[in-house]
Amino acid sequence: MNSIWTEKYRPMKLDEVYGQERIIERLKAYAEQGNIPHLLFAGPAGTGKTTSALALSKELYGDNWKHNFFELNASDERGIEVIRKKIKEYARTTTLSVEGFKVIFLDEADSLTSEAQAALRRTMEKYSSNCRFILSCNYSSKIIDPIQSRCAVFRFRYISKEGVTDWINHIAEGEELTITEDAINLLVQISEGDLRKATNLLQISASTTDSIDEEVVRQSANIAKPGDIEKMINTAMEGDFMESRGQLYDLFVDYGLSGNDIIRQIHKSIYNIPMDNERKMKLVDRIGEAEFRMVQGSNERIQLEALLAHISKDFAKR
Ligand SMILES: Nc1ncnc2c1ncn2[C@@H]1O[C@H](COP(=O)(O)OP(=O)(O)O)[C@@H](O)[C@H]1O
Ligand SMILES: [Mg+2]
């Protein structure tokens, strides 16, 4: 039995995927037809993109799915050349399935440069007679148009509050846990529609006790107390940039937070910090910019420091 719950509880069938009903309905229709176009799965992490690609393949090929499904991660492999070589090798071996095509799942396709995507597009065309590509990405806007137009695009959404609650109850039942309503609410709040996050946090919480309450979840979550983030912003607003920078580094080190976690918590916190509307709007705008740049791959610490510098400079003494 797999001990990592995200794998142990990964749905095997399309019908078992939570919270993506419209997408699943269409994927089931493809499975019934025994044919699929190239697919593009876009959406946030932990919402079922990989799971759906696997489940679709299992329903297409039955027990033989492993011979007809090939998974690559665009961000693992260095450059498009490696990807092309692997795809070529895989595509060249003929498929024994009645469907007549094999599936290539390319995860994190949006990590490829546009040149690499152009090459990928040619590869897709070259092998389209015996391969179908399923591309997965966080942002479809980062996928070049010629690829998007060759794919049926599916937009995965954050899982709703109800969906996450159902999922947590599903695992709690499987693991014979008792869990309080408050604990579930906190899990829902922290995981923000990301079922991988919810599952991992539930497993960490359950590692010390099988009777889980809010406090157990709080201790298991490496979340900064909202107060810590607010303190950092206040320090910057008082004009003490170096001190706020130190507090930022403590957040990275003490809580092991990623830049993305921090920027999201900053975004939530600023609504609790008293300041006039005009300032709030400017700050939200600046946060949005930093978040965008981080998503585009620029250095997280530099972006966050720049944000603090901006707050110290423009917000403090005006
Ligand atoms: N829609 C979903 N329904 C059920 N479980 C899910 C769903 N999305 C994510 N999970 C859980 O999170 C894990 C990771 O999901 P995955 O499909 O790999 O997410 P991603 O969208 O990042 O590809 C799964 O193994 C499963 O445990
Ligand atoms: Mg995935």
How far, in Å, is the centroid of ligand 1 from the Cα of 316?
43
Given ligand 1 and candidates 4, 21, 195, which is best to mutate, with the most ligand atoms within 8 Å of its CB? 195
CB 23 within 8 A of CB 154: yes
Residue 107: predicted pLDDT: 93
CA–CA separation, 191 vs 97, rounded Å?
Answer: 39
Q: Return the residue whose CA atom lies nearest to atom 18 of ligand 1.
A: 50
Q: Find all residues with CB under 8 Å of 252, minimum gap 6, and list them.
A: 262, 301
Q: Find all residues with CB under 8 Å of 156, minimum gap 6, and list them.
A: 20, 23, 41, 42, 43, 44, 47, 48, 49, 52
How far, in Å, is the centroid of ligand 2 from the Cα of 309?
35
What sections of 77-174 are H helices per DSSP?
79-92, 114-126, 145-148, 161-174
Residue 78: predicted pLDDT: 65
CA–CA separation, 169 vs 60, rounded Å?
Answer: 30
Ligand number nearest to the C-alpha of 71: 2
Given ligand 1 and candidates 9, 40, 47, 51, which is best to mutate, with the most ligand atoms within 8 Å of its CB? 51
pLDDT tens, residue order, the chain (318 aa)? 447 999 999 999 999 999 999 999 999 999 999 999 999 999 999 999 999 999 999 999 999 899 899 999 888 766 788 888 888 888 777 666 667 899 999 999 998 888 889 989 999 999 888 899 999 999 999 999 999 999 999 999 999 999 999 999 999 999 999 999 999 999 999 999 999 999 999 998 998 899 999 989 987 886 666 678 889 999 999 999 999 999 999 888 766 678 888 898 899 888 888 888 888 898 999 999 999 999 888 899 999 999 999 999 877 654
How far, in Å, is the centroid of ligand 1 from the Cα of 18?
9
Query: Which secondary-structure segment (H or E) carries 242?
Result: helix 241-255
The angle, 0 to 180 degrees and rounded to 10, between the axes of the packed helices 226-237 and 241-255 is 160
Residue 1: predicted pLDDT: 43
CATH hierarchy code of domain 161-220: 1.10.8.60
Ligand number nearest to the C-alpha of 9: 1
Residue 316: predicted pLDDT: 62
Would you tell me how many other CB atoms lie within 10 Å of the CB of residue 125?
12
How far, in Å, is the centroid of ligand 2 from the Cα of 108?
7
Residue 9: predicted pLDDT: 96
How far, in Å, is the centroid of ligand 2 from the Cα of 16?
17
CATH hierarchy code of domain 5-155: 3.40.50.300
The CATH number of domain 226-315, selected from 1.20.1530.20, 1.20.272.10, 1.10.3720.10, 1.10.10.10? 1.20.272.10
Residue 75: predicted pLDDT: 80
Atom number of ligand 1 nearest to Cα 10: 25
Atom number of ligand 1 nearest to Cα 51: 17
C-alpha radius of gyration, the chain, whole number: 22
CB 202 within 8 A of CB 172: yes
Give residue limits of the domains in the chain: 5-155, 161-220, 226-315
Q: Exposed (0-12), middle (13-18) or buried (19+): which is 28, by Cβ within 10 Å?
A: middle
| Backbone dihedral angles phi then psi of residue 6, each to the nearest 5 degrees | -60, -30
**Ligand 1 site: residues with CB under 6 angstroms?**
6, 9-11, 17-20, 45-51, 159, 195-196, 199
CA–CA separation, 284 vs 218, rounded Å?
Answer: 27
Given ligand 1 and candidates 162, 196, 199, which is best to mutate, with the most ligand atoms within 8 Å of its CB? 196
How far, in Å, is the centroid of ligand 1 from the Cα of 199?
9
For residue 211, the SS3 value is strand
CB 119 within 8 A of CB 147: no
Within its chain, how far is the Cα of 44 from the centroid? 4
Q: What's the maximum distance between 2 C-alpha atoms anywhere in the chain?
A: 71
